Chains A and B, each alone.
Chain A
């Protein structure tokens, strides 16, 4: 039971990385992309092929997986720049399917539907991180998520984060403000893809085998669900979303009812969650992160702020 719970937490970690990437693309830049599964697959196969055929260590394959995914992020980002909303969703979905089909058919490199087995376990300072024992792997996953969380939190507060928010709110206005929308949108894709590639690497050394069947459309949908459920534009929230979605998808096994509840049940639940969320809480469980501006403006504005507060409270009864 505990073992099973650990498994859920590990998958939460792996999916949380993807959800963090999706949050940059969808939550910040406002682009509805459905191809995290594609980047996830690219990362997995990069690690699998490099560590089996070429004998690289897991740690050496990680940057390759991240960079390769980022490169494909740029490749999908550039031609789809002018697409918006559902059109972008369809184009990116197509990309993810292309990746999966290539992996399925490029026998000489990926061994096709058989996939790649016997991926060596990662080790650090002579300590082998055995996925069957879970705890070691769990710690590694959590460290990865924490690093990604802090890096992306910084990113969100940087110029780039602001630029992406402006693009999401109004692209034409953002351009008139001197924001290079092309550059930032492609960057968002590259960064969102790279972290999904890292998640793919982790997935490869967790299951120790990769097959094209793992990287289906459902993965992209689950990741999107995590972002929507947790709250777009909030990295803490998407990690929470990842945990809840994983908990739901393993719920039948967790309560020991897997013989009674068919596996398709989780898809019904996902759909239901999305519908309920859209109606009652479209901003997600935690909602968008509100930045604290008082730190940025410092002491200077304090008198003004008091005045502003009075004015606001007198007119509106204090909105915030």
Chain B
């Protein structure tokens, strides 16, 4: 199976605090991979690093055989100390153009725009109007509630509807890799279940590889093939999701058993 996203030995710092410590992982094409961990473990930082929003102190990120982020080289004038500077090889928008779509934490919908306008924004990179119209109809078919509310301001949508809209918006650009940052944040369990079902369908029918970060470990592990567990900026466990669900440590720490 082909590795679509390879993260090799990356570290990210916020000042003196190291948020990610030599993290390595990979996402195979066609999989749903989840990353679970507690608050402040560094999950969101990892996603931000992938899309070029956080500079790397060390390591590389490769997507589809192409280097997309790497650390700045050592600065000889600073006595070999690592220089902190903005280092992504590509800026966020260029990474998005390569086919990585991020559904950011807290959804970040364009609240004052209608659902339809939001989806149009999602298709910003697409120049073909007919394709945009087709994609939108697909999204309205797939998320009927969005079709019904297409002319409504996104502000007036419920949290779950906004999350679906954020996912639909990300799918408008026909990405190969979908990054989801806590899709279940602040939503009712039934709504989360619905969203995870949709994610599974997107993965199977549209062949979109999914990498999701979630605090709700049980839901995430059930919905995915591969899982990683992060603690204090390090990957502490990596296995198939089924195996992680049976793992003693995971059961104790994340599943509350």
A residues in contact (CB < 8 Å) with B = 159, 162-163, 165-166, 169-170, 172-182, 291, 293, 296-298, 300-301, 304-305, 307-309, 311-312, 316, 319-320
Contact = CB atoms under 8 A, between A and B. Distances in A.
Given A175-B96, A305-B151, A297 B116 contact: yes
Contacts of B117: 291, 293
Given A311-B148, A316-B152, A169 B114 contact: no
B133 A319 contact: no
B91 A304 contact: no
Interface string B200-229: 000000000000000000000000000000
A73 to B, nearest CB: 21
B42 interface: no
- 7 closest Cβ pairs, A-B complex: A311-B148, A175-B92, A178-B96, A178-B125, A173-B108, A169-B110, A176-B102
B211 to A, nearest CB: 14
B182 interface: no
Contacts of B148: 307-308, 311-312
Contact of B152 (A159, A166, A298, A312): A312
A308 B93 contact: no
Contacts of B137: 300-301, 304
Interface in B123-152: 124-125, 129, 133, 136-137, 140, 147-152
Given A179-B93, A293-B116, A166 B121 contact: yes
Contact of A169 (B93, B113, B151, B170): B113
Nearest to A291: B117
A300 to B, nearest CB: 6
The interface residues of chain A, by DSSP majority, are classed as: helix
Contacts of B94: 178, 180
Interface string B91-108: 111101100011010001
Contacts of B53: 172, 175
Most buried by A among B92, B116, B117: B92
Contact of A177 (B111, B112, B114, B173): B173
A298 to B, nearest CB: 7
Given A166-B121, A172-B108, A311-B148, A177 B113 contact: no
A173 B152 contact: no
Contact of B108 (A170, A182, A297, A308): A170
18 contacts: A163-B124, A165-B113, A170-B108, A172-B53, A174-B121, A175-B51, A175-B53, A175-B92, A178-B125, A180-B94, A181-B93, A291-B117, A304-B147, A305-B151, A307-B148, A308-B147, A316-B156, A320-B151
Nearest to A159: B124
B153 interface: yes
A308 B92 CA distance: 34
A176 B111 contact: no
A293 B153 CA distance: 13
A166 B120 CA distance: 11
B92 A176 contact: yes
A166 B108 CA distance: 11
Interface string B147-165: 1111111001000000000
A178 B94 CA distance: 6
A301 B109 CA distance: 23
Contacts of B116: 293, 297
B150 A177 contact: no
Contacts of A311: 148-149
Nearest to A163: B124
B233 interface: no
Contact of B121 (A177, A301, A320): A177
B150 A178 contact: no
Contacts of A296: 120, 129
B91 A177 contact: no
Contacts of A170: 108-110
B183 interface: no
Given A175-B51, A177-B173, A319-B153, 15 more contacts: A162-B120, A165-B110, A170-B108, A170-B109, A172-B92, A172-B108, A177-B96, A177-B125, A178-B124, A182-B91, A293-B117, A297-B116, A297-B133, A305-B150, A309-B151
A2 to B, nearest CB: 43
B122 interface: yes
B121 A162 contact: yes
A242 B207 CA distance: 54
Contacts of A182: 91
A307 B149 CA distance: 9
Contacts of B122: 177
Contacts of B114: 293
Contacts of B152: 312, 316, 319
A231 to B, nearest CB: 14
A234 to B, nearest CB: 14
Contact of B110 (A159, A173, A304, A316): A173
A319 B96 CA distance: 34
Contacts of A162: 120-121, 124
